[in-house]
Copies of this chain bind each other. A is one copy, B any other.
């Protein structure tokens, strides 16, 4: 038994080393440098050995994506603990800023996880629970859940939900309720209507869009410091959802 465990631990250990090296290559030299042979070289083994751990390079990359997501999640979690338990708006700000900061600090990872044309077909977070990206989405939802549970409604006075979106939004709302409940927050279903789900969707769209634009530098002119632009957008966003 102990030997079996030992073997398992060895395997898990080198597996960790593999992903660690892959990660280092990604960060330092870009995605093109994440090469089976390069990884193996750094580890002092040969490339085919990696096939004992992953089916293919693409498989390894996918696990790398998951690692990256997990890191983002814990980083956001760390940011969160520094905010007062009762400062719910502050918590929302913290994860938004944390997400942006992480994306700017890790553009390669961001592109890999959030802007790969390959990821286009994948509907990840809530639909396929257990996915790594899911855990990242969960932290957003947990905070949203806390906000809602404290009686702050997330909505906009004159919000009009397009009819065509109501079915999808209803499904989403149910997903949200379940996820929030799982995270230990008590929330009455009436506190999360379709309008709230819609506003949350819009919130994410704008946050994601701003961050993507910044990461890819797609400004129409050179911006010396994009931070004020982000903060201004964030303030708009917060007030738009009624916080």
Chain A residues engaging chain B, CB cutoff 8 angstroms: 30-31, 107-108, 111, 114-123, 125-127, 137, 160, 162-165, 167-168, 171-172, 175, 200-202, 204-206, 208-210, 212-213, 215-225, 227-229, 231-233
Contacts and interface: CB of A to CB of B under 8 A. Distances in A.
Given A171-B222, A201-B220, 6 more contacts: A119-B216, A119-B217, A120-B217, A126-B221, A168-B223, A172-B220
Nearest to A232: B162
Contact of A205 (B116, B210, B217): B210
Contact of A224 (B107, B168, B200, B213): B168
- Most B CB contacts (10 A, CB to CB) among A30, A167, A206, A227 go to A206
B162 A228 contact: yes
Given A162-B229, A210-B209, A168 B222 contact: yes
Contacts of A126: 220-221
B114 A218 contact: yes
A229 B200 CA distance: 13
A44 to B, nearest CB: 29
Given A30-B117, A212-B115, A171 B233 contact: no
Nearest to A235: B160
B220 A204 contact: yes
Chain multiplicity (copies): 2
A119 to B, nearest CB: 6
Given A115-B115, A137-B220, A222-B127, A212 B209 contact: yes
Q: Would you call the interface of chain A mostly helix, strand, loop, or mixed?
A: helix
* A160, A167, A217 — most chain B CB neighbours (10 Å): A217
Nearest to A125: B220
A221 B162 contact: no
A225 to B, nearest CB: 6
A114 B219 CA distance: 10
Given A201-B220, A209-B213, A229-B162, A117 B111 contact: yes
A205 to B, nearest CB: 5
Given A117-B107, A223-B168, A225-B164, A206 B204 contact: no
